[in-house]
Structure 1
Amino acid sequence: MIMETVDAAMIERTNASQKPPVIFIHGLWSKPSSWDRWAEMFEAAGYAPLAPGWPAELGGAAAPETIGEVAAHFARIAGALDRRPALIGHSFGGLIAQTLAGRGLSAATVAIEPAPFRGVLELPVWTEAPVDAEAAGRGPLLTISGERDHTPPSVTRAAYERQKRNKHPVTEFVQLPRRDRSLPINSGWREVAQTALTFVRRFLCLL
Protein backbone atom coordinates (compact mmCIF):
# COMPACT_ATOMS: atom_id res chain seq x y z
CA MET A 1 0.00 0.00 0.00
CA ILE A 2 1.34 3.46 -0.89
CA MET A 3 1.58 5.74 2.11
CA GLU A 4 -0.67 8.79 1.99
CA THR A 5 1.15 11.95 0.90
CA VAL A 6 0.20 13.73 4.12
CA ASP A 7 1.67 10.89 6.18
CA ALA A 8 4.87 10.87 4.12
CA ALA A 9 5.26 14.63 4.63
CA MET A 10 4.64 14.22 8.35
CA ILE A 11 7.30 11.51 8.58
CA GLU A 12 9.82 13.55 6.60
CA ARG A 13 9.25 16.58 8.83
CA THR A 14 9.59 14.48 11.98
CA ASN A 15 12.83 12.82 10.87
CA ALA A 16 14.28 16.19 9.85
CA SER A 17 13.55 17.62 13.31
CA GLN A 18 15.81 15.00 14.93
CA LYS A 19 13.52 15.13 17.96
CA PRO A 20 12.11 12.01 19.65
CA PRO A 21 8.83 11.16 17.88
CA VAL A 22 5.50 10.58 19.61
CA ILE A 23 2.64 9.10 17.58
CA PHE A 24 -0.92 9.85 18.73
CA ILE A 25 -3.61 7.39 17.62
CA HIS A 26 -7.26 8.40 17.94
CA GLY A 27 -10.17 6.03 18.42
CA LEU A 28 -13.33 5.34 16.47
CA TRP A 29 -15.58 8.34 15.74
CA SER A 30 -12.78 10.75 16.52
CA LYS A 31 -10.27 12.74 14.46
CA PRO A 32 -6.53 13.47 14.48
CA SER A 33 -7.38 17.04 15.55
CA SER A 34 -8.57 15.67 18.92
CA TRP A 35 -4.86 15.49 19.79
CA ASP A 36 -4.02 19.11 18.85
CA ARG A 37 -3.61 20.36 22.43
CA TRP A 38 -1.59 17.28 23.35
CA ALA A 39 0.65 17.81 20.34
CA GLU A 40 1.32 21.39 21.42
CA MET A 41 2.23 20.26 24.94
CA PHE A 42 4.57 17.51 23.73
CA GLU A 43 6.19 19.78 21.15
CA ALA A 44 6.84 22.40 23.84
CA ALA A 45 8.48 19.64 25.89
CA GLY A 46 10.91 18.89 23.05
CA TYR A 47 9.21 16.02 21.23
CA ALA A 48 8.07 15.68 17.62
CA PRO A 49 4.33 14.86 17.71
CA LEU A 50 2.52 13.07 14.88
CA ALA A 51 -1.24 12.49 14.75
CA PRO A 52 -1.87 10.53 11.54
CA GLY A 53 -5.37 9.69 10.42
CA TRP A 54 -6.73 6.22 9.90
CA PRO A 55 -6.55 4.81 6.34
CA ALA A 56 -9.03 6.43 3.92
CA GLU A 57 -9.84 9.10 6.50
CA LEU A 58 -8.76 11.96 4.28
CA GLY A 59 -11.74 11.30 2.05
CA GLY A 60 -14.11 11.88 4.93
CA ALA A 61 -15.85 8.53 4.51
CA ALA A 62 -16.15 5.93 7.22
CA ALA A 63 -13.18 3.62 6.88
CA PRO A 64 -14.18 0.00 6.21
CA GLU A 65 -10.86 -1.41 7.39
CA THR A 66 -10.48 -3.98 10.14
CA ILE A 67 -8.56 -2.93 13.21
CA GLY A 68 -5.76 -5.21 12.04
CA GLU A 69 -5.46 -3.24 8.80
CA VAL A 70 -5.49 0.03 10.70
CA ALA A 71 -2.72 -1.32 12.94
CA ALA A 72 -0.70 -2.20 9.83
CA HIS A 73 -1.12 1.39 8.61
CA PHE A 74 0.32 2.81 11.82
CA ALA A 75 3.05 0.16 11.86
CA ARG A 76 4.23 1.44 8.47
CA ILE A 77 4.37 4.98 9.83
CA ALA A 78 6.27 3.94 12.97
CA GLY A 79 8.68 1.86 10.90
CA ALA A 80 9.46 4.80 8.60
CA LEU A 81 10.73 6.96 11.45
CA ASP A 82 14.46 7.24 12.15
CA ARG A 83 13.86 6.71 15.86
CA ARG A 84 11.50 4.31 17.58
CA PRO A 85 8.54 6.43 18.73
CA ALA A 86 6.45 6.58 21.83
CA LEU A 87 2.84 5.59 21.10
CA ILE A 88 -0.18 7.18 22.76
CA GLY A 89 -3.63 5.89 21.87
CA HIS A 90 -7.19 6.38 23.08
CA SER A 91 -9.95 3.75 23.00
CA PHE A 92 -9.38 1.68 19.84
CA GLY A 93 -6.28 3.80 19.34
CA GLY A 94 -5.07 2.40 22.66
CA LEU A 95 -5.71 -1.11 21.35
CA ILE A 96 -3.70 -0.33 18.21
CA ALA A 97 -0.87 1.16 20.29
CA GLN A 98 -0.66 -2.04 22.34
CA THR A 99 -0.67 -4.11 19.16
CA LEU A 100 2.30 -2.18 17.77
CA ALA A 101 4.11 -2.31 21.11
CA GLY A 102 3.82 -6.09 21.02
CA ARG A 103 5.66 -5.99 17.69
CA GLY A 104 8.54 -4.04 19.22
CA LEU A 105 7.67 -0.77 17.45
CA SER A 106 7.37 1.44 20.52
CA ALA A 107 9.91 2.97 22.91
CA ALA A 108 7.09 3.56 25.42
CA THR A 109 3.33 3.11 25.15
CA VAL A 110 0.42 4.90 26.82
CA ALA A 111 -2.99 3.26 26.34
CA ILE A 112 -5.80 5.57 27.46
CA GLU A 113 -9.10 3.80 28.17
CA PRO A 114 -8.04 1.14 25.64
CA ALA A 115 -10.64 -1.00 23.90
CA PRO A 116 -10.38 -4.55 25.25
CA PHE A 117 -8.56 -7.15 23.19
CA ARG A 118 -9.44 -10.82 22.77
CA GLY A 119 -8.99 -12.78 25.94
CA VAL A 120 -10.49 -9.90 27.93
CA LEU A 121 -13.89 -9.62 26.19
CA GLU A 122 -15.53 -11.37 23.27
CA LEU A 123 -15.34 -8.87 20.41
CA PRO A 124 -16.79 -8.80 16.89
CA VAL A 125 -14.43 -10.37 14.37
CA TRP A 126 -13.79 -7.08 12.54
CA THR A 127 -12.34 -5.52 15.68
CA GLU A 128 -9.79 -8.24 16.26
CA ALA A 129 -6.22 -7.00 16.51
CA PRO A 130 -3.78 -9.52 17.95
CA VAL A 131 -2.22 -8.04 21.08
CA ASP A 132 0.78 -10.07 22.20
CA ALA A 133 0.74 -9.10 25.86
CA GLU A 134 3.78 -11.27 26.59
CA ALA A 135 5.98 -10.20 23.66
CA ALA A 136 9.59 -9.85 24.82
CA GLY A 137 10.10 -6.55 22.99
CA ARG A 138 6.91 -4.83 24.10
CA GLY A 139 8.63 -2.15 26.17
CA PRO A 140 7.20 -0.02 29.00
CA LEU A 141 3.41 0.37 29.11
CA LEU A 142 1.12 2.72 31.01
CA THR A 143 -2.64 2.18 31.02
CA ILE A 144 -4.82 5.14 32.03
CA SER A 145 -8.53 4.89 32.81
CA GLY A 146 -11.22 7.14 34.20
CA GLU A 147 -13.20 6.23 37.28
CA ARG A 148 -16.46 7.03 35.46
CA ASP A 149 -15.59 5.37 32.16
CA HIS A 150 -18.65 3.59 30.71
CA THR A 151 -16.40 0.58 30.07
CA PRO A 152 -16.46 -1.29 33.39
CA PRO A 153 -13.24 -0.59 35.33
CA SER A 154 -12.88 -4.35 35.79
CA VAL A 155 -12.46 -4.73 32.00
CA THR A 156 -9.66 -2.16 31.77
CA ARG A 157 -8.10 -3.68 34.86
CA ALA A 158 -8.30 -7.17 33.32
CA ALA A 159 -6.48 -5.94 30.21
CA TYR A 160 -3.81 -4.42 32.44
CA GLU A 161 -3.42 -7.67 34.39
CA ARG A 162 -2.84 -9.56 31.13
CA GLN A 163 -0.23 -7.01 30.08
CA LYS A 164 1.43 -7.29 33.49
CA ARG A 165 2.41 -10.86 32.63
CA ASN A 166 4.96 -9.35 30.26
CA LYS A 167 8.56 -9.76 31.38
CA HIS A 168 9.24 -6.04 30.94
CA PRO A 169 9.57 -4.57 34.44
CA VAL A 170 7.45 -1.50 33.66
CA THR A 171 3.72 -2.15 33.30
CA GLU A 172 1.74 0.51 35.13
CA PHE A 173 -1.91 1.43 35.69
CA VAL A 174 -3.40 4.79 36.68
CA GLN A 175 -7.09 5.40 37.37
CA LEU A 176 -8.05 9.07 37.49
CA PRO A 177 -10.89 9.91 39.91
CA ARG A 178 -14.09 11.51 38.62
CA ARG A 179 -13.02 11.15 34.98
CA ASP A 180 -15.20 9.75 32.20
CA ARG A 181 -14.62 8.17 28.78
CA SER A 182 -13.38 11.30 27.01
CA LEU A 183 -10.11 11.70 28.89
CA PRO A 184 -8.04 13.22 26.03
CA ILE A 185 -10.55 15.97 25.23
CA ASN A 186 -12.62 16.81 28.31
CA SER A 187 -11.92 19.67 30.71
CA GLY A 188 -9.31 17.67 32.61
CA TRP A 189 -7.28 16.73 29.54
CA ARG A 190 -4.16 18.56 30.75
CA GLU A 191 -3.79 16.32 33.80
CA VAL A 192 -4.10 13.24 31.59
CA ALA A 193 -1.60 14.61 29.07
CA GLN A 194 0.87 15.49 31.82
CA THR A 195 0.58 11.96 33.22
CA ALA A 196 1.38 10.55 29.77
CA LEU A 197 4.22 13.03 29.20
CA THR A 198 5.83 12.22 32.55
CA PHE A 199 5.78 8.52 31.66
CA VAL A 200 7.19 9.05 28.16
CA ARG A 201 10.01 11.22 29.53
CA ARG A 202 11.27 8.29 31.57
CA PHE A 203 11.99 6.23 28.47
CA LEU A 204 12.28 8.55 25.47
CA CYS A 205 15.10 10.92 26.28
CA LEU A 206 15.68 14.23 24.56
CA LEU A 207 18.94 14.68 22.66
Structure 2
Amino acid sequence: MTAMPTIVFIHGLWLHATSWDPWQEFFTAAGYDTVAPEWPGTPDTVAEARANPDSIADHGIDAVTEHYLSFLDGLGEPPILIGHSFGGMIAQKILGLGRAAAVVAVDAAQIKGVLPLPLSALHATLPVFKNPANIRRAVSLTAEQFRYGFGNAISEEESAGLYDRWTIPAPGRPLFEAAAANFSLHSPAAVDTGNTSRGPLLLIAGGKDHTVPEVITEATAKQYRHSPAVTELVAFPDRGHSLTIDNGWREVAQTSLDWLHAQGL
Protein backbone atom coordinates (compact mmCIF):
# COMPACT_ATOMS: atom_id res chain seq x y z
CA MET A 1 0.00 0.00 0.00
CA THR A 2 1.40 3.39 -0.99
CA ALA A 3 1.87 5.82 1.91
CA MET A 4 -0.34 8.89 1.78
CA PRO A 5 1.46 12.22 1.40
CA THR A 6 1.81 14.49 4.40
CA ILE A 7 -0.45 17.55 4.37
CA VAL A 8 1.20 20.84 5.31
CA PHE A 9 -1.17 23.67 6.22
CA ILE A 10 -0.05 27.28 5.60
CA HIS A 11 -2.06 30.10 7.13
CA GLY A 12 -2.28 33.66 5.90
CA LEU A 13 -2.15 37.09 7.50
CA TRP A 14 -3.83 37.73 10.86
CA LEU A 15 -4.46 34.10 11.74
CA HIS A 16 -2.36 31.83 13.92
CA ALA A 17 -1.33 28.37 12.73
CA THR A 18 -3.49 26.81 15.45
CA SER A 19 -6.51 28.01 13.46
CA TRP A 20 -5.87 24.89 11.37
CA ASP A 21 -6.46 22.56 14.37
CA PRO A 22 -9.94 21.41 13.21
CA TRP A 23 -8.60 20.75 9.70
CA GLN A 24 -5.71 18.73 11.09
CA GLU A 25 -8.11 16.60 13.10
CA PHE A 26 -10.32 16.14 10.03
CA PHE A 27 -7.51 15.07 7.71
CA THR A 28 -5.80 12.94 10.36
CA ALA A 29 -9.07 11.04 10.72
CA ALA A 30 -8.99 10.54 6.93
CA GLY A 31 -5.58 8.85 7.22
CA TYR A 32 -3.12 11.67 6.50
CA ASP A 33 -0.20 12.86 8.54
CA THR A 34 -0.63 16.60 9.02
CA VAL A 35 1.42 19.54 10.24
CA ALA A 36 0.80 23.29 10.43
CA PRO A 37 4.10 25.15 10.84
CA GLU A 38 4.08 28.80 11.87
CA TRP A 39 5.40 31.69 9.81
CA PRO A 40 8.96 32.73 10.71
CA GLY A 41 9.17 34.58 14.00
CA THR A 42 5.63 33.78 15.08
CA PRO A 43 5.33 32.37 18.63
CA ASP A 44 3.62 29.08 19.38
CA THR A 45 0.43 30.49 20.87
CA VAL A 46 -2.02 33.25 20.04
CA ALA A 47 -1.38 34.96 23.36
CA GLU A 48 2.39 34.99 22.85
CA ALA A 49 2.01 36.27 19.29
CA ARG A 50 -0.15 39.16 20.46
CA ALA A 51 2.37 40.00 23.16
CA ASN A 52 5.37 39.91 20.81
CA PRO A 53 4.40 41.61 17.52
CA ASP A 54 8.00 42.68 16.80
CA SER A 55 8.99 39.04 16.29
CA ILE A 56 6.39 38.77 13.52
CA ALA A 57 7.23 42.04 11.75
CA ASP A 58 9.12 42.57 8.47
CA HIS A 59 8.87 39.04 7.04
CA GLY A 60 8.18 39.26 3.29
CA ILE A 61 6.86 36.72 0.79
CA ASP A 62 10.29 35.36 -0.16
CA ALA A 63 11.36 34.95 3.47
CA VAL A 64 8.17 33.09 4.33
CA THR A 65 8.46 30.89 1.23
CA GLU A 66 12.07 29.99 2.06
CA HIS A 67 11.01 29.24 5.63
CA TYR A 68 8.48 26.69 4.40
CA LEU A 69 10.84 25.25 1.79
CA SER A 70 13.38 24.61 4.55
CA PHE A 71 10.68 22.85 6.53
CA LEU A 72 9.75 20.71 3.52
CA ASP A 73 13.39 19.60 3.19
CA GLY A 74 12.86 17.51 6.29
CA LEU A 75 9.81 15.67 4.98
CA GLY A 76 11.39 13.64 2.21
CA GLU A 77 8.57 13.24 -0.31
CA PRO A 78 6.78 16.35 -1.64
CA PRO A 79 3.71 17.00 0.52
CA ILE A 80 0.21 18.23 -0.20
CA LEU A 81 -0.09 21.91 0.69
CA ILE A 82 -3.32 23.52 1.85
CA GLY A 83 -3.03 27.28 2.18
CA HIS A 84 -5.38 30.14 3.00
CA SER A 85 -5.01 33.73 1.77
CA PHE A 86 -1.27 34.53 1.63
CA GLY A 87 -0.72 30.92 2.61
CA GLY A 88 -2.45 30.01 -0.65
CA MET A 89 -0.09 32.26 -2.60
CA ILE A 90 2.97 30.75 -0.91
CA ALA A 91 1.65 27.25 -1.58
CA GLN A 92 1.34 28.13 -5.28
CA LYS A 93 4.92 29.42 -5.35
CA ILE A 94 6.11 26.11 -3.89
CA LEU A 95 3.96 24.15 -6.37
CA GLY A 96 5.48 26.13 -9.24
CA LEU A 97 8.92 25.07 -8.01
CA GLY A 98 7.86 21.43 -8.23
CA ARG A 99 8.13 20.94 -4.48
CA ALA A 100 4.52 19.93 -3.74
CA ALA A 101 2.47 16.89 -4.72
CA ALA A 102 -0.66 19.07 -4.95
CA VAL A 103 -2.04 22.34 -3.63
CA VAL A 104 -5.41 23.49 -2.35
CA ALA A 105 -5.33 27.31 -2.28
CA VAL A 106 -8.30 28.81 -0.42
CA ASP A 107 -9.05 32.50 -1.07
CA ALA A 108 -5.43 32.87 -2.14
CA ALA A 109 -3.84 36.33 -2.23
CA GLN A 110 -3.31 37.68 -5.73
CA ILE A 111 -0.17 36.57 -7.55
CA LYS A 112 1.75 38.64 -10.08
CA GLY A 113 -0.24 38.99 -13.30
CA VAL A 114 -3.63 39.21 -11.62
CA LEU A 115 -5.09 42.62 -12.49
CA PRO A 116 -8.53 43.00 -10.81
CA LEU A 117 -8.38 45.06 -7.62
CA PRO A 118 -11.91 45.42 -6.22
CA LEU A 119 -12.67 48.25 -3.81
CA SER A 120 -13.56 45.80 -1.05
CA ALA A 121 -10.03 44.36 -1.20
CA LEU A 122 -8.55 47.83 -0.85
CA HIS A 123 -10.84 48.58 2.10
CA ALA A 124 -9.98 45.28 3.80
CA THR A 125 -6.24 46.00 3.60
CA LEU A 126 -6.46 49.69 4.51
CA PRO A 127 -5.29 49.05 8.10
CA VAL A 128 -1.88 48.25 6.59
CA PHE A 129 -1.73 50.64 3.63
CA LYS A 130 -2.83 53.74 5.55
CA ASN A 131 0.74 54.09 6.89
CA PRO A 132 3.75 53.38 4.60
CA ALA A 133 5.85 52.63 7.68
CA ASN A 134 3.76 49.49 8.19
CA ILE A 135 5.92 47.76 5.59
CA ARG A 136 8.34 47.03 8.43
CA ARG A 137 5.77 46.56 11.18
CA ALA A 138 3.31 43.97 12.38
CA VAL A 139 -0.23 45.31 12.21
CA SER A 140 -3.23 44.14 14.24
CA LEU A 141 -6.86 44.29 13.17
CA THR A 142 -9.64 45.60 15.34
CA ALA A 143 -12.73 43.42 15.78
CA GLU A 144 -14.57 45.74 13.39
CA GLN A 145 -11.84 45.46 10.75
CA PHE A 146 -11.83 41.66 11.10
CA ARG A 147 -15.59 41.66 10.69
CA TYR A 148 -15.27 43.47 7.35
CA GLY A 149 -12.28 41.55 5.99
CA PHE A 150 -13.05 38.06 7.31
CA GLY A 151 -16.42 37.74 9.03
CA ASN A 152 -18.83 39.66 6.82
CA ALA A 153 -20.72 36.51 5.73
CA ILE A 154 -21.33 35.21 9.27
CA SER A 155 -23.05 36.63 12.32
CA GLU A 156 -21.47 39.47 14.25
CA GLU A 157 -21.34 37.22 17.30
CA GLU A 158 -19.48 34.45 15.49
CA SER A 159 -17.08 36.94 13.89
CA ALA A 160 -16.24 38.37 17.32
CA GLY A 161 -15.63 34.87 18.68
CA LEU A 162 -13.26 33.97 15.84
CA TYR A 163 -11.43 37.27 16.29
CA ASP A 164 -10.88 36.56 19.98
CA ARG A 165 -9.78 32.99 19.39
CA TRP A 166 -7.46 33.09 16.39
CA THR A 167 -6.25 36.56 15.36
CA ILE A 168 -2.68 37.78 15.75
CA PRO A 169 -0.65 40.72 14.38
CA ALA A 170 0.56 40.25 10.79
CA PRO A 171 3.57 41.63 8.91
CA GLY A 172 2.69 44.42 6.52
CA ARG A 173 5.46 43.64 4.04
CA PRO A 174 3.65 40.86 2.08
CA LEU A 175 0.74 43.20 1.32
CA PHE A 176 3.03 45.94 0.03
CA GLU A 177 4.90 43.39 -2.10
CA ALA A 178 1.70 41.98 -3.58
CA ALA A 179 0.37 45.47 -4.31
CA ALA A 180 3.52 46.34 -6.28
CA ALA A 181 3.79 42.95 -8.03
CA ASN A 182 2.69 44.03 -11.49
CA PHE A 183 5.15 46.93 -11.46
CA SER A 184 8.15 44.84 -10.39
CA LEU A 185 10.26 42.76 -12.76
CA HIS A 186 11.33 40.35 -10.03
CA SER A 187 8.35 40.47 -7.70
CA PRO A 188 8.25 37.96 -4.82
CA ALA A 189 4.56 37.52 -5.69
CA ALA A 190 5.50 35.88 -9.01
CA VAL A 191 4.53 32.23 -9.48
CA ASP A 192 5.69 29.82 -12.19
CA THR A 193 2.21 29.26 -13.58
CA GLY A 194 3.59 27.76 -16.79
CA ASN A 195 5.21 24.75 -15.12
CA THR A 196 3.98 21.78 -17.18
CA SER A 197 5.10 19.07 -14.74
CA ARG A 198 3.72 20.47 -11.49
CA GLY A 199 1.15 18.73 -9.34
CA PRO A 200 -2.60 19.50 -9.48
CA LEU A 201 -4.01 22.76 -8.12
CA LEU A 202 -7.43 23.48 -6.64
CA LEU A 203 -8.38 27.13 -6.21
CA ILE A 204 -11.26 27.79 -3.81
CA ALA A 205 -13.12 31.11 -3.77
CA GLY A 206 -15.65 32.67 -1.42
CA GLY A 207 -18.37 34.54 -3.28
CA LYS A 208 -18.77 37.08 -0.46
CA ASP A 209 -15.07 37.44 0.33
CA HIS A 210 -14.14 41.10 0.80
CA THR A 211 -10.39 40.51 1.16
CA VAL A 212 -9.88 38.21 -1.84
CA PRO A 213 -13.04 38.62 -3.95
CA GLU A 214 -13.98 35.77 -6.28
CA VAL A 215 -12.91 37.81 -9.33
CA ILE A 216 -9.31 37.65 -8.07
CA THR A 217 -9.44 33.86 -7.81
CA GLU A 218 -10.95 33.62 -11.29
CA ALA A 219 -8.16 35.82 -12.66
CA THR A 220 -5.61 33.65 -10.85
CA ALA A 221 -6.98 30.53 -12.56
CA LYS A 222 -6.51 32.22 -15.94
CA GLN A 223 -2.81 32.70 -15.21
CA TYR A 224 -2.44 28.90 -15.44
CA ARG A 225 -4.01 28.60 -18.90
CA HIS A 226 -0.66 27.83 -20.58
CA SER A 227 0.03 24.77 -18.41
CA PRO A 228 -1.60 21.39 -19.15
CA ALA A 229 -1.34 20.46 -15.47
CA VAL A 230 -4.62 20.14 -13.56
CA THR A 231 -6.05 23.49 -12.41
CA GLU A 232 -9.59 23.60 -11.05
CA LEU A 233 -11.71 26.24 -9.34
CA VAL A 234 -14.54 25.75 -6.87
CA ALA A 235 -16.59 28.65 -5.50
CA PHE A 236 -18.69 28.82 -2.35
CA PRO A 237 -21.11 31.64 -3.25
CA ASP A 238 -22.24 32.53 0.28
CA ARG A 239 -18.86 32.38 2.05
CA GLY A 240 -16.42 35.08 3.13
CA HIS A 241 -12.71 35.11 3.95
CA SER A 242 -13.37 33.27 7.22
CA LEU A 243 -14.46 30.11 5.37
CA THR A 244 -11.59 28.02 6.77
CA ILE A 245 -12.41 28.82 10.40
CA ASP A 246 -16.12 29.62 10.64
CA ASN A 247 -19.08 27.29 11.16
CA GLY A 248 -18.93 26.05 7.56
CA TRP A 249 -15.27 25.04 7.53
CA ARG A 250 -16.07 21.33 7.34
CA GLU A 251 -17.79 21.71 3.95
CA VAL A 252 -14.65 23.37 2.55
CA ALA A 253 -12.45 20.68 4.10
CA GLN A 254 -14.64 17.89 2.68
CA THR A 255 -14.50 19.47 -0.78
CA SER A 256 -10.71 19.58 -0.49
CA LEU A 257 -10.55 15.95 0.65
CA ASP A 258 -12.83 14.75 -2.17
CA TRP A 259 -10.72 16.61 -4.71
CA LEU A 260 -7.49 15.10 -3.38
CA HIS A 261 -9.02 11.63 -3.64
CA ALA A 262 -10.07 12.40 -7.22
CA GLN A 263 -6.41 13.23 -7.98
CA GLY A 264 -5.29 9.87 -6.60
CA LEU A 265 -3.88 11.48 -3.46
Pair 1:155 & 2:155 matched: no
Shift of 1:25: 0.2
Contact kept? 1:86, 1:204, Cα under 8 Å: no
Pair 1:44 & 2:54 matched: no
**Alignment-mate amino acid for residue 68 of structure 1:** D
Aligned equivalents of 1:118, 1:144: Cα separation in 2: 18
Structure having the higher Rg:
2
Pair 1:141 & 2:201 matched: yes
Pair 1:80 & 2:74 matched: yes
More displaced, 108-117 or 123-132? 123-132
Pair 1:55 & 2:40 matched: yes
Aligned equivalents of 1:192, 1:126: Cα separation in 2: 26
Aligned equivalents of 1:92, 1:183: Cα separation in 2: 14
Which structure has the higher relative contact order (CA within 8 Å, separation 6+)? 2
Shift of 1:198: 1.3
**Alignment-mate amino acid for residue 28 of structure 1:** L
**What is the percentage of aligned positions where both structures have the same residue?**
44
Pair 1:202 & 2:262 matched: yes
Which residue does the alignment assign to 1:90? 84
Which residue does the alignment assign to 1:7? none
Pair 1:20 & 2:5 matched: yes
String of CA shifts for 1:27-70, please: whole Å, max 9, x gaps.
Answer: 01111111000000100000001100000112733231111110
Aligned equivalents of 1:31, 1:204: Cα separation in 2: 30
Contact kept? 2:207, 2:213, Cα under 8 Å: no
Shift of 1:80: 1.8
For the residue of structure 2 that corresponds to 1:191, the secondary structure is: helix
More displaced, 153-162 or 184-193? 153-162
Pair 1:69 & 2:71 matched: no
String of CA shifts for 1:133-172, please: whole Å, max 9, x gaps.
Answer: 111232100000111011332221000111233221x110
Aligned equivalents of 1:135, 1:195: Cα separation in 2: 25
For the residue of structure 1 that corresponds to 2:223, the secondary structure is: helix
Contact kept? 2:7, 2:32, Cα under 8 Å: yes
- Which of 82, 105, 109 pairs up with 1:111? 105
Q: Under a length normalisation based on structure 1, what TM-score does the superposition of the two structures give?
A: 0.84
- Which of 175, 187, 206 pairs up with 2:247? 187
Cα RMSD, aligned residues only: 1.8
Contact kept? 1:118, 1:130, Cα under 8 Å: yes
Aligned equivalents of 2:178, 2:244: Cα separation in 1: 25
Shift of 1:204: 5.5
For the residue of structure 1 that corresponds to 2:9, the secondary structure is: strand
Aligned equivalents of 2:80, 2:62: Cα separation in 1: 20
More displaced, 32-41 or 195-204? 195-204
Q: Under a length normalisation based on structure 2, what TM-score does the superposition of the two structures give?
A: 0.66
Aligned equivalents of 1:136, 1:159: Cα separation in 2: 17
More displaced, 70-79 or 183-192? 70-79
More displaced, 19-28 or 124-133? 124-133
Aligned equivalents of 1:126, 1:160: Cα separation in 2: 17
Q: Which runs of 5+ in 1 are unaligned?
A: 1-17
Contact kept? 2:107, 2:204, Cα under 8 Å: yes
